[in-house]
Structure 1
Amino acid sequence: MSQTRKKNSSEGESKSQTSFVNKFLRDSKAESRKENNDLKTTDSQPIDGLQKTATFDTAKPLSSEVEFRPRTEKNEQFLQKLGKKAVDKCLDLNNCGLTRADLREVGEALEMIPELEELNLSWNSKVGGNLSLILQKFQKGSKIQTLELVDCALTTEDGAFVGQLLPVLQGLEVLDLSMNRNIGGSLDRLAQGLKCTSNLRVLKLHSCGLSQKSVKTLEIAFRYLGELRKLDLSCNKKLGGGFEDSSAQLALLKHLEVLDLHQCSLTADDVVLLTQVIPLLSNLQELDLSANKKMGSSSENLLSRLRFLPALKSLLINNCALESETFTALAEASIHLPALEILNLSWNKCVGGNLKLLLQSLKLSAALQELRLSSCSLLTEDVALLASVIVTGHLAKLHKLDLSYNDSICDEGWAIFCQNVWFLKELAELDISLRPSNFRDCGRWFRHLLCAVTKLPEITEIGMKRWILPASEEEALECFDRDHKRSIHFDHGGFQ
């Protein structure tokens, strides 16, 4: 949709200001004629879902009918300007810079879409404090299935209002309240409302100011959310310690496929509880525990029990301060994860010199598409080992490979790797960048990389930040670009 209203528009703007309807799309003469004809047609026939409003009592004064028609036409025009129709099931107004005046018009427009299934008001800060003005139009029996209110500056009162509204939204399947830091203050009301949303499949509370008590509060609702597929509690840094006294109600989410707990300051005691719960979630496909540094030394048992998650496709455990014992447990468990497609171990220094522990897993990971080992203190022997696995064809499905920030690998190691990387026929992205504080000249291995690229039909991006190309290699790259004319971006540190 077109957007011409500036974000700093306010309620105090003059009456001569362009209306909310016109800010999205101005009529051409031809469009105006067409819309006028459409409106004349719809005047004589009530819109679906509005029969009660549109059926006039003969006893009513003429003024009632006169007032109703302009209002109907105004709302229809509002939807038309947004590229919507009264029969549309989706209304997406995210990042529109809505003002309070605009929100009133949205509230009226919702009455014109009785079959509405999806509403997105995300990234409109004026929604905060005014949510009831919009959503009070929802009545029992509403067809709404998706409600997204990301980063709307929602207040504690807004959160309480959502909690009161949820019992009305019996068909709700997706609720996203992420990036509203005051929501945590009204979590009690929200949890009570969630008890009435038995069809809910996705619940996102990313960065919502949740505290230790929040886990206990949410457990009130978990037992009623048997259909939940995705739970996102990430980036709630005060949540750490909340699982310590939990009664393991999380285990009741038998159909859960995605669990995101990254950057939640998980403690050792949290890990103990999760060790009991996570292996019971047998349908889990995506698990994100990244950026929880306190769990590194205490997660051995948890990681070893990942073997009970045969459907796991994505495991993100980067920046968790893993130690040798915990990494060993992970390596042994990963052998039992045949469906694994994404593995992120970045920023765990213990991987360096120990990649051999993953050797068997890498050989069995036929489905692996993304492997991230950034800043893992990898040694030359590690990339040589990786090259040997690549040659055997065990990583044939790999699309993305991140080996960046491993500055301790010598030129010989890069040469061995680059000579064999061409066996990854489906590779699209490769990153071998250096740390921000380090600049090095490319060795002769760069010629091997150029040669390999000619045999990689899917490659589009090669990260080589802070690698400096000598004049001879610069010429080789220019020749490559001229001869092959492929859209491959070499992101390097420059020439010298």
Structure 2
Amino acid sequence: MEKTDGLSHLISEAESPSGEQRFNQFMQKLGKNPNSKNLDLNNCALSAADVAELASLLPFLQELEEISLSWNGCIGGTLKALTVHLHHVNLLKVLRLNNCRLTAEDVISLAEILPMIPDLEVLDLSINTHIGSSMKAIAQDLKNVPGLKELNLHMCGLKHDSLQGLDAALQHLAELRKLDISCNKEIGGGFKDFTAHLASLKNLEILDLHQCCVTEEDVTVLSQVIPLLSNLQELNLSSNKNIGVSPDPLLGRLRFLPKLKSVAISNCDLSEELFSSLAEAALHLPELEILDLSWNKCVGGNLKLLLGALKLATEIQVLRLSSCNLVTEDLTLLTFLAQDGHLGRLRELDVSYNNNISDEGWLLFCQGLAAFKELSVLDVSLRPSSCRDCGTWFSELLAALPQLPALAELGLQRWLLSESQRKQLESFNQDNKRNIRFDC
């Protein structure tokens, strides 16, 4: 009788699926292709049972280099079930837990495991709004991942003490390339406690501080530190209105960052003086590809201040001037620049929400539109509160479209089109074998 039981046990073990088979079945159940190095379960509506099953599979996934579990709300409160097994995947380089409803306890359990994954290069905890109070714990353990290249803490509920802890961690993160602490409104006023080691990040390429409620005192501190980040390529300061009222020359000092490719300063309430200072600094940014000045009313009537920089910006691909109070003269300037051979690589032009441009201005712009040879996205929409008839420029617009082979999207919201004009747009793609999205 005992022998029979033993034989049954052996048969049962032989028939039980291997770890690899179990992993394949788990991924197939979720409609994903199994990959031994990249576990991508973003937005998979994982259940608590799925998380538990995944945790049991980690010992069989020792080759994993990337784990992405973003946009799975059930991860919140259950992360410890995973972290206790993360030591099995010590080759891990990328961990993304974006918008997982993480709790303070989750962050603490993650901090405890960081020494076990020393090769980590990317840590993304963005849009976990309740972890700010526990960020100090993880900041203390970031010294265990000295090769970290990307740290995303966008919209994490960070507070002043979070910045203090984070600054202490920066001294151990010499390889950091990207730092995103945007949309943390409660850190405004705390940057004096954050910049002691920020300037030491000589490899930093991307710094995102948009919508951080920076104070005038913060601007003073940042104007001293940001120009020292000699390898910076992307800087986002948007939606920080105190930048526009601070007397400190932060924007003017961007001239010391010649590698800048992207500058976003939308909705910063810039004064004409500050805009002029930025325009002068832009003369020293030869690699500039993206410039976002949207929602700064001072640009209207003053775009000529940027003329020299736009002539030199041979790499410029994206220019956003939405809601800038542009006038006819500004739009004419852009048109003449393109016709003179500048802005030749421009792919995206946003001049929406600028209701002060006359029909004559739009007419001249559309007549010269073909000069923007690589344009793929164009937005000329009006403000939400507005409606206006298309003038004679509409026919010029239609005539220019066949000469813009890359154009894929055209924004025309709140322009009142006649029935005939709508039909012309509807038939354009079919007649010209194109696939332009007309947003009317």
TM category, shorter: over 0.9
Mapped pair 1:281 → 2:253 = no
| Structure 1 residue 405 corresponds to structure 2 residue 353 | yes
Q: For residues 66 and 225 of structure 1, do their structure 2 counterparts lie closer, same or farther at Cα, with a shift above 3 Å needed?
A: farther
**Structure 1 unmatched runs, 5+:** 1-60
What do residues 460-486 of structure 1 show as CA deviations (whole Å, max 9, x unaligned)? 211111111235544654664564232
* Secondary structure at the counterpart of residue 249 of structure 2: helix
**Superposed, which structure 2 residues align to 1:387-466 within 5 Å?**
387-466=335-414
Moved more, 91-100 or 467-476: 467-476
Percent of residue pairs identical: 52
Partner of 1:167: 115
2:357 alignment partner, SS class: coil
User: Does the C-alpha gap of structure 1 residues 247 and 383 become closer, same or farther in structure 2, counting only changes over 3 Å?
Assistant: closer
Over the aligned positions, Cα root-mean-square deviation in angstroms equals 2.1
Higher mean Cα deviation, 129-138 or 293-302? 293-302
Question: Could you list the per-position Cα deviations for residues 266-316 of structure 1 after superposition, in whole angstroms to 9, with x for gaps in the alignment?
Answer: 111111111111111111111111111122111651100101111111111
Sort the Cα spacing of 1:328 and 1:300 in 2 relative to 1 into closer, same or farther, 3 A: farther
1:91-490 aligned at under 5 Å gives the runs 91-139=39-87, 142-298=90-246, 301-471=249-419, 473-474=421-422, 476-477=424-425, 480-481=428-429, 483-490=431-438
Preserved contact between residue 76 and residue 85 of structure 1 (Cα < 8 Å) = no
CA gap 1:474/1:64 in 2 versus in 1, 3 angstroms = closer
Task: Return the alpha-carbon distance in structure 1 between the equivalents of residues 394 and 247 of structure 2.
Answer: 40
In the alignment, residue 122 of structure 1 is paired with which amino acid? Answer: S
Q: Which SS does the other structure have where 1:387 is aligned?
A: helix
Greater displacement, 239-248 / 73-82: 73-82
Out of 65, 79, 82, the position equivalent to 2:24 is: 79
Relative distance call for 1:203 and 1:64 in structure 2 (3 A) is: farther
Q: For each residue in 1:385-421, what CA deviation from the matched residue of structure 2 results, as whole angstroms up to 9, or x when unmatched?
A: 1111111111000000000000010101111111111
User: C-alpha distance in 1, partners of 2:321/2:348?
Assistant: 11
Tell me the distance in 2 between the aligned counterparts of 1:353 and 1:147: 47
CA distance in 1, matches of 2:338, 2:35: 54
Q: Secondary structure at the match of 1:147?
A: strand
- Contact 1:76–1:86 (CA under 8 A) maintained in structure 2: no
Separation (CA, whole Å) in 1 of partners of 2:117 and 2:9: 31
Give how far 1:86 is off: 8.4
Tell me what 1:33 maps to. none
Work out the CA distance in 2 between the residues paired with 1:82 and 1:478.
43
Q: Which amino acid aligns with 1:241?
A: G
TM-score, with structure 1 as normaliser: 0.83
Distance 1:111 1:403, change over 3 A: same
| Letter of the structure 1 residue corresponding to residue 136 of structure 2 | D
Name the SS of the counterpart of 2:291 in structure 1.
strand
Aligned-partner Cα distance in 2 for 1:254–1:247: 13
Distance between the aligned counterparts of 2:266 and 2:16, measured in 1? 55
Code of the aligned partner of 1:228: L
Q: Secondary structure at the match of 2:60?
A: coil
Q: Retained in 1: the 8 A contact 2:58–2:88? A: no
Which residue identity lines up with residue 416 of structure 2 in the other structure?
I
Query: 2:27 is aligned with what amino acid?
Result: L
Deviation readout 1:120-179 (Å, 9 max, x if unpaired): 111111211111111211227811111111111111111111111111111100100111
Q: By how many angstroms is 1:72 displaced?
A: 5.0
Q: How many residues align?
A: 432
Question: What residue number does 2:3 align with?
Answer: none
1:85: how far off?
8.8
Runs of 5+ unmatched residues, structure 2: 1-5
Q: Give the 3 Å change call, closer, same or farther, for CA 67–313 of structure 1 in structure 2.
A: farther
The alpha-carbon deviation at position 487 of structure 1 amounts to 1.7
**TM-score, normalising length from structure 2?**
0.93
Moved more, 228-237 or 481-490: 481-490
* Matched-pair contact (CA < 8 Å) for 1:263–1:289: yes
Q: Equivalents in 2 of 1:370, 1:483: separation in Å? A: 29
* CA deviation string 1:32-81 (max 9, x = no partner): xxxxxxxxxxxxxxxxxxxxxxxxxxxxx999977866665366233245
**3-state SS of 1:111 partner:** helix
Q: Deviations over 1:327-377 (max 9, x none)?
A: 111000001101000000000000001000001111111000000000000
| Distance in 2 of aligned mates of 1:159 and 1:361 | 45
Q: Any idea what SS the aligned residue of 1:76 has?
A: helix
Say whether the 8 Å CA contact 1:208–1:236 is kept in structure 2. Answer: yes
Separation of aligned partners in 1, 2:179 and 2:9: 48
| Counterpart Cα distance in 1 of 2:282 and 2:399 | 33
Mapped to 1, the partners of 2:35 and 2:320 lie a distance apart of 46
The answer to whether the 8 Å contact 2:131/2:157 transfers is yes
In structure 2, relative to structure 1, the CA distance for the partners of 1:247 and 1:480 (3 Å cut) is: closer
